[in-house]
């Protein structure tokens, strides 16, 4: 996946100094795994780049203008569709409903990225924070119908893992 070096390095720099809560690994490994899964699922270049960047608007100081200037409008639209609305948008239920609506209307490649994200996040949450996992699992079960049209293999994996 050398052709995606710019997106990989961008994600690595944006998440510099951030570590995964349960594993202690550098955070950028998560978007790299998501990008690999999207690549293996046959995702376009824009989808793979967006997979690398899927958390930068939500978790870093990277702006939409920066993503637009560095990666273009398609990648930006994918990343925006994957970004959880801010707390100022409303309560948790309102934000989750907005996320479901955004993803239902999103291109199938965006749904594939979200499925790959869930597959990567699920094992550590289930193992290390079973109490929060119950809430998270409920959110993802409610989200799953919005992800129909994404990669069938990833969809099946998520459905099975959430059982």
CA distance 123 to 100: 22
DSSP 8-state assignment for residue 83: S
Q: Per the structure, how many domains does the chain have?
A: 1
Mean pLDDT of all residues belonging to the chain: 94
pLDDT per residue as tens digits for the range 112-153: 999 999 999 999 999 999 999 999 999 999 999 999 999 999
* Confidence at 66, pLDDT banded by 50, 70, 90: very high
Q: Which domain holds residue 24?
A: 2-162
Question: How far is 147 from 152, CA to CA, in rounded Å?
Answer: 10
CA distances from 20 to 15, 40, 68 (A): 10, 24, 27
| pTM (two decimals) | 0.95
Rounded to an integer, what distance in angstroms lies between the CA atom of residue 71 and that of residue 21? 29
Report the distance separating Cα 15 and Cα 26, nearest Å.
8
For the record, the structure tokens of 133 come out as: 């996992």
- Locate all alpha helices (DSSP H) within the chain, ordered by sequence: 5-14, 29-40, 45-53, 56-59, 64-71, 73-82, 92-105, 108-128, 130-143, 152-162
pLDDT digits (tens, 9 = 90+) for 27-51: 999 999 999 999 999 999 999 999 9
**How far is 102 from 19, CA to CA, in rounded Å?**
28
Q: Once rounded to an integer, what is the mean pLDDT over residues 10-35?
A: 94
47: Cα within 13 Å, side-chain hemisphere: 24
CATH number at residue 83: 1.10.3210.10
Count the Cβ atoms, other than its own, within 10 Å of residue 20: 15
């Amino acid at each position: 996946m050398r052709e995606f070096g710019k997106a990989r390095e961008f994600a690595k720099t944006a998440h510099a100094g951030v570590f995964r809560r349960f594993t202690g690994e550098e955070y950028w490994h998560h978007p790299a795994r998501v990008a690999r899964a999207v690549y293996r699922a046959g995702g376009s270049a824009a989808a793979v780049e967006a997979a690398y960047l899927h958390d930068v608007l939500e978790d870093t100081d990277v702006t939409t203008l920066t993503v637009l200037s560095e990666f273009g409008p398609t990648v930006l639209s994918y990343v925006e569709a994957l970004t959880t609305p801010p707390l100022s948008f409303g309560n948790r239920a309102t934000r989750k409903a907005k996320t479901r609506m955004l993803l239902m209307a999103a291109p199938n490649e965006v749904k594939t990225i979200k499925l790959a994200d869930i597959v990567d996040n699920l094992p550590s949450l289930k193992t290390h924070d079973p109490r929060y996992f119950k809430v998270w699992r409920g959110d993802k079960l409610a989200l799953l119908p919005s992800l129909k049209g994404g990669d069938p293999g990833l969809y099946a994996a998520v459905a099975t893992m959430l059982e």
